[in-house]
Amino acid sequence: MTLRLTATPTPPCGRIPRRTFLADTGMGFTGLALGAMLAEDGMHGMPGSAHAAETSAWSPPAGLANLAPKAKSVIWLFMIGGTSHLESFDPKPALNKYAGLTIDESPYGKQVVNSAFYRKNVRDFAGTPRKLMNKLYPLQIGYRQRGESGIEVSDWWPHLSSCVDDISVVRSMWTTDNDHAAQLQFHTGRHIFDGFYPSLGSWVHYGLGTLNHNLPRFIVLGSPPGDCCGGVGAHGADYLGPEHAGVKMRINPSNPLPFGSPGSSVFREERADQMGLLKQLNRLAAVEYPGDQATRARIKSYELAYRMQMAVPEAMTLDGETRATHSLYGLDKSTTKTFGQQCLLARRFVERGVRFVQLYHNGWDAHSKLIANHSSKIGQTDQPIAGLLKDLKQRGLLDETLVVWGTEFGRTPGAENSDGRDHHPYGFSVWLAGGGIKGGAVHGATDEIGFHAVEHRHYVTDLHATVLHQLGLDPRTLEVPGHKRLDIDYGRPIHQVIA
């Protein structure tokens, strides 16, 4: 095991350089302990290395907004599997009118298959194009105009419909993956064929300072995408470093952070004494290795881990919330309890200064039995999401909290398996609320049958750019040496939905 903390090259056969050994032993046993702890974590001295020389003119973000921020925090609600835009926020009456006809037989055949967007933007995950679902499938639920704004929303969303005047719906999103790895693409902006890249939440973590030193800046709740579809890469940080990745929590106040507790056999006072020793090590290390940024970063992570052990259980304890609040989120019903807890925790986290809270809800992939699937999934999420928006608003938090609802793609206008809809990357919907976003607005449009995004088209990174803009960050200032970003990675803020 090496104790090397300086830039001295590692000697052959695992021998420790004399200078390094004397430095560590000069600090006594505590020096050896800290050296071992940091070495086990792979932390080596950075100053003087070739990499340090190459990047000496560059420095990471200072944690300050470079634009006037409208929001302090983000709650990111992601529906895994592909929610139908047609049975949610972009109903199309033409589907009822021409139901049973093929797309070719309808008045819209040529504009669909001859479109410049058809096939040309899609990169087929399975290697072959997905079959065109040609037989138009009618809407499986009614819809009506909601709120003073008159936004059309399906009848499956009665609770969220009551909040529509606080929401901006974007009906013209598109992506390039026609399979479920689009879940990764929605969060990183890159097709899975390109590899893994930092997620939006990790860029926020990287670019902004903390509002609470006792909690992570980026928290994840719910089951993430499967490994086939990007897995934890949807809240990962890739080349930004794991310290910027989302911290996965579970709804268990006694043990909310897997492997984050010192164990039931360790008393709080004992843990405090351990951290007191670590602080002494830190002070010694700061004197002995004043220029080692990597060491300082690792020490900070140890200290954060201790503070989290104290603060996270309190934040995740819902017993102190009123009965009315529990009811607002649906915690008193078995159908809505689980996602309601996640939404309530999201409010508690942003209330305590967490920058980015990412919630997952799984199971929306309705290749068949769309009515059963979507009525069930919307039934689990509608009231909790509406409760979240209402609760944030009544507490004065909605103005500074940006809430985003999204899914990896929509569903086809044509039927699959007679009673379902297939994946649809050509046009789908998302919505935003709070954090300086207009309320009661609709931006962009798909064509008459909901096939192509045709007005004000937005690739997924435009949504990313909008979130960063509201937080006061310009994505073009978020750079890391050696990792060239493409123009499409940055996106452009959707100014039409910004108040």
Residue 350: pLDDT above 80? yes
The pLDDT assigned to 49 comes to 44
The three-state secondary structure class of 143 is strand
Domain with residue 96: its CATH number is: 3.40.720
The pLDDT assigned to 19 comes to 46
> 3-state DSSP: the chain helix, strand, coil percent, rounded to 5?
40, 15, 45
Distance CA 363, CA 340 (A): 17
The pLDDT assigned to 398 comes to 98
pLDDT band for position 72 (50/70/90)? Answer: very high
Q: Do 357 and 461 have their domain in common?
A: yes
- The arithmetic mean of pLDDT across residues 248-259, rounded, is 72
| Percent of the chain whose predicted confidence (pLDDT) is above 70 | 79
Q: Do 296 and 390 have their domain in common?
A: no
Contact residues for 324 (Cβ-Cβ < 8 A; gap 6+)? none
Q: Do 91 and 221 have their domain in common?
A: yes
Distance CA 406, CA 317 (A): 27
Quick check: is 366 in a domain?
yes
The three-state secondary structure class of 424 is strand
Q: Do 225 and 290 have their domain in common?
A: no
The pLDDT assigned to 254 comes to 66
Contact residues for 317 (Cβ-Cβ < 8 A; gap 6+)? 253
Q: Which residue has the higher pLDDT, 29 or 85?
A: 85
Quick check: is 67 in a domain?
no
* C-alpha 367 chain-centroid distance: 25
Residue 237: pLDDT above 80? yes
Q: Do 338 and 429 have their domain in common?
A: yes
Q: Do 109 and 40 have their domain in common?
A: no
The pLDDT assigned to 210 comes to 87
The pLDDT assigned to 143 comes to 98
Provide the residue type at 240 as one letter.
L
| Percent of the chain whose predicted confidence (pLDDT) is above 90 | 65
Quick check: is 258 in a domain?
no
pLDDT band for position 1 (50/70/90)? Answer: very low
Q: Do 39 and 136 have their domain in common?
A: no
Q: Do 491 and 436 have their domain in common?
A: yes
Q: How many domains does the chain have?
A: 2
Residue 17: pLDDT above 60? no
| Closest of 208, 157, 154 to residue 402, by C-alpha | 208
Q: What is the pLDDT of residues 158-183, one digit of tens each?
A: 999 999 999 999 999 999 999 999 99
The pLDDT assigned to 170 comes to 98
- The arithmetic mean of pLDDT across residues 370-390, rounded, is 98
Q: Do 201 and 282 have their domain in common?
A: no
> Residue with structure tokens 């080596």?
44
pLDDT band for position 333 (50/70/90)? Answer: very high
Backbone angle region of 164, left / alpha / beta, with phi > 0 → left and psi within -120 to 50 → alpha: alpha
Residue 218: pLDDT above 80? yes
Quick check: is 459 in a domain?
yes
Distance CA 72, CA 110 (A): 46
Instruction: Please provide residue 374's backbone torsions phi and psi, each rounded to the nearest 5 degrees.
Output: -70, -35
- Alpha helices for 75-227 (secondary structure H): 93-97, 109-113, 158-161, 182-188, 200-207
The pLDDT assigned to 338 comes to 96
* Structure tokens that stand for 86 in this block: 């047609």
Write b or e for each residue in 320-332: b if 16 or more Cβ atoms lie within 10 A of its Cβ, otherwise e: ebeeebbebbbbe
Quick check: is 262 in a domain?
no
Distance CA 435, CA 405 (A): 14
* Structure tokens that stand for 99 in this block: 């139901």
Backbone angle region of 231, left / alpha / beta, with phi > 0 → left and psi within -120 to 50 → alpha: left
Q: Do 349 and 395 have their domain in common?
A: yes
pLDDT band for position 479 (50/70/90)? Answer: confident
Residue 75: pLDDT above 60? yes
Q: What is the pLDDT of residues 414-465, one digit of tens each?
A: 999 999 999 999 999 999 999 999 999 999 999 999 999 999 999 999 999 9
pLDDT band for position 67 (50/70/90)? Answer: confident
The pLDDT assigned to 65 comes to 79
- Alpha helices for 316-429 (secondary structure H): 323-329, 334-351, 370-394
Spatial contact of 206 and 240, defined as CB atoms under 8 Å apart: yes
Distance CA 92, CA 414 (A): 12
Q: Do 291 and 351 have their domain in common?
A: no
pLDDT band for position 59 (50/70/90)? Answer: confident
Residue 498: pLDDT above 90? yes
* Structure tokens that stand for 277 in this block: 């020793």
Q: Which residue has the higher pLDDT, 5 or 211?
A: 211
Q: What is the pLDDT of residues 270-320, one digit of tens each?
A: 666 766 776 677 667 666 666 666 666 666 666 666 677 778 888 888 999
Q: What is the pLDDT of residues 117-157, one digit of tens each?
A: 888 788 887 777 889 999 999 999 999 999 999 999 999 99
Distance CA 56, CA 212 (A): 30
Q: Do 283 and 182 have their domain in common?
A: no
The pLDDT assigned to 57 comes to 66
Quick check: is 206 in a domain?
yes
Write b or e for each residue in 188-206: b if 16 or more Cβ atoms lie within 10 A of its Cβ, otherwise e: bbbbbeeebbbbbbbbbbb
Q: Which residue has the higher pLDDT, 122 or 324?
A: 324
* C-alpha 389 chain-centroid distance: 18
Spatial contact of 422 and 392, defined as CB atoms under 8 Å apart: no
The pLDDT assigned to 289 comes to 66
**H or E element that contains 274:** helix 268-288
Residue 113: pLDDT above 70? yes
Domain with 275, as residue range(s), is 12-55+268-301
Spatial contact of 381 and 330, defined as CB atoms under 8 Å apart: no
| pLDDT mean across residues, the chain | 86
- The arithmetic mean of pLDDT across residues 7-25, rounded, is 48
The pLDDT assigned to 126 comes to 76
Quick check: is 4 in a domain?
no
Residue 231: pLDDT above 80? yes
Contact residues for 462 (Cβ-Cβ < 8 A; gap 6+)? 491, 492, 493, 494
Spatial contact of 100 and 410, defined as CB atoms under 8 Å apart: no
The pLDDT assigned to 9 comes to 44
Residue 207: pLDDT above 60? yes
Spatial contact of 198 and 238, defined as CB atoms under 8 Å apart: yes
The three-state secondary structure class of 436 is coil
Cβ burial of 62 (10 Å; 0-12, 13-18, 19+) is exposed
| Closest of 246, 233, 244, 183 to residue 209, by C-alpha | 244
Distance CA 311, CA 139 (A): 47
Contact residues for 438 (Cβ-Cβ < 8 A; gap 6+)? 168, 497, 498, 499
Write b or e for each residue in 370-406: b if 16 or more Cβ atoms lie within 10 A of its Cβ, otherwise e: beebbeebbbbbbbbbbbbbbbbbeeebbebbbbbbb
Residue 476: pLDDT above 60? yes
Distance CA 44, CA 87 (A): 54
Residue 470: pLDDT above 70? yes
Quick check: is 386 in a domain?
yes
